[in-house]
Amino acid sequence: MTSKKRVLEAYFVERPNRFLAKVRVDDSIVDVFVPNPGRMKELMIPGKKFFIRENSAPHRKTNFDLIGVIHDGVLISLDSNLPNRFLRKLLDDHRLPFFQNYSRVVPEPRHYDGRFDFRLEG
């Protein structure tokens, strides 16, 4: 699972809403999509170093995603979908011994009024 999209350093300016942040890249202020709707108040501090990934498409309102932040010297992923994408790849490739006998991975199956991350069949 790799991405060929460009990753840039950026510095946090503000977060007008749950899914939008403004960051400084060089001398420009850029709007970026925030893929994690959590508040993250301890991370969203003006001047804090973040990483953004180029992700432009005609239907998008921004050309970048906010993907990571350095906090207390540790790189933290901000993409709340990333863990499930990693797990899906591992399950599809039969890389987890305990789950190798399942033949089908169903993402986000409905369960009453909610959803599970995965249903394994077979």
Q: What is the pLDDT of residue 37?
A: 80
Q: What is the pLDDT of residues 110-121, one digit of tens each?
A: 999 999 999 999
Nearest to 39 by CA among 18, 22, 10: 18
Domains observed in the chain? 7-77 (2.40.50.580), 82-121 (no CATH)
How far is 59 from 67, CA to CA, in rounded Å? 20
Per-residue model confidence as pLDDT tens digits over 13-59? 999 999 999 999 999 999 999 998 888 999 999 999 999 999 988 89
- The pLDDT, as a whole number, for residue 2 is 60
Rounded Cα distance between 74 and 26, Å, is: 23
Cα 90 from Cα 82, distance rounded (Å)? 12
- Residue indicated by tokens 């990693």: 86
pLDDT band at 1 (very low <50, low <70, confident <90, very high): low
Radius of gyration of the chain (CA): 17
Q: What is the pTM of this model?
A: 0.72
Q: What is the pLDDT of residue 90?
A: 95
Residue length of the chain: 122
